[in-house]
Amino acid sequence: MSENVAQPVPELALREFVDSGLLQEVNRQFFHPLGLALYVRNGGSGPALGGIWDGRDDPEGFIFEAFTPEEIERGRVIQAEQERRASARYGVLGFGVQPLQAAATPSQEGP
């Protein structure tokens, strides 16, 4: 009989999160439209999660001034990965982004 041993979930290095464009895209696609910005600061031993800037009192919130060709390419790579993963998730789960539906509990089910 084999024992189910939980395997640790691998962590993405913060440097890779920044360098791959994920920070850029999570800000562009999610945080900036909400008037927020996730930021990373450079420390002596590498990048460190800085926090979230709050610009919700400004109706336009945050935007990037301009994108370099490299930033545009990183965004395109991430967009292609989102599309690839969405296809797989739809095939298995029936959705890409998890819907906000409350799970039915026995007390919520009808007779």
In a domain, 99, yes or no: no
Nearest Cα to 53, choosing from 34, 68, 67, 71? 34
What confidence tens digit (pLDDT) does each residue in 41-60 have? Answer: 988 888 999 999 999 999 99
Asked if pLDDT for residue 111 goes beyond 80, the answer is no
In a domain, 22, yes or no: yes
The fraction of the chain above a pLDDT of 70, given in percent, is 87
Cα within 13 Å of Cα(104), Cβ side: 4
In a domain, 101, yes or no: no
In a domain, 89, yes or no: no
How far is residue 52's CA from residue 39's CA, in Å, rounded to a whole number? 6
In a domain, 34, yes or no: yes
Q: Which domain holds residue 75?
A: 14-82
What is the domain count for the chain?
1
In a domain, 54, yes or no: yes
